[in-house]
Structure 1
Amino acid sequence: MTGRAGKIVLALALAAGVLTACTQADKDTNTGRTIPFDLYTHCGIREALIGSTYFEAQDPPSDGSGNPPEGWGNPYQRGTMTLTSETEAVFTDDAGHEVKFRARPGTEPSMPLCA
């Protein structure tokens, strides 16, 4: 194949490889591995989806009205997530925030998203 058709086939093959890598990464539980993470904060810092497992915040930071406290990004806070064990993770960021999470059973979010 040459020309435009060849470029399209190459682009599709590369995209398939990227999708496969993402799927495999979701299955990895590499304990101790730290990854960039955008933590959803809009309705409060309650849970995080890591791979295919939901983790609940142990002491969810809040402004008292279900929102992230002052100093947190909204709707997301950029930072890193470290899987400290198969059932525990820690979110940290450059602002000094830290939230500990614990895995919970189930594959659906436990709390509905707010508007």
Structure 2
Amino acid sequence: MSILLTTHCGIHEVRVGNTFYATDKILDDGNGNPPAGWGNPFQEGTITVTGQDAVFRDAAGHTVTFHARPNATSFLDVCS
């Protein structure tokens, strides 16, 4: 499925349907921005859900694996 992944405060979380997912470690530039080579505030790509994982891939070659957060009803962080 095609998505626009929010990257403005780094890459950490995504919601697919009613499930919230998070990475093991926030991907950022150390200042709360996306790492070099990522779009800001979004990165276009695809996400594939398999079991408890959601994998984001884009045309630039980025791949990020997110893990489901069972029973989560909101994001862990809200980007300002």
Same fold, TM exceeding 0.5? Answer: yes
Unpaired runs of at least 5, structure 1:
1-34
Residue equivalent to 1:54: 20
Residue equivalent to 2:7: 41
Q: Distance in 2 between matches of 1:92 and 1:60?
A: 16
Unpaired runs of at least 5, structure 2:
none
- Please list, as runs of the form range in 1=range in 2, the aligned pairs for 1:59-74 lying within 5 A after superposition: 59-74=25-40
Pick 1 or 2: higher relative contact order, CA cutoff 8 A, min separation 6: 2
Does 2:58 match 1:93? yes
TM-score (norm 2): 0.91
How far is 1:59 from its partner?
3.4
- Please list, as runs of the form range in 1=range in 2, the aligned pairs for 1:10-29 lying within 5 A after superposition: none
Q: Aligned residues: percent identity?
A: 48
Q: Distance in 2 between matches of 1:92 and 1:52?
A: 20
Which portions of structure 1, spanning 4 or more consecutive aligned residues, are displaced by more than 4 angstroms?
Answer: none
Structure 1 vs Structure 2 CA RMSD: 1.0
Bigger fraction of residues in strand = 2
How many residues in Structure 1 have an aligned counterpart in Structure 2? 79
Bigger fraction of residues in helix = 1
Q: Distance in 1 between matches of 2:9 and 2:62?
A: 17
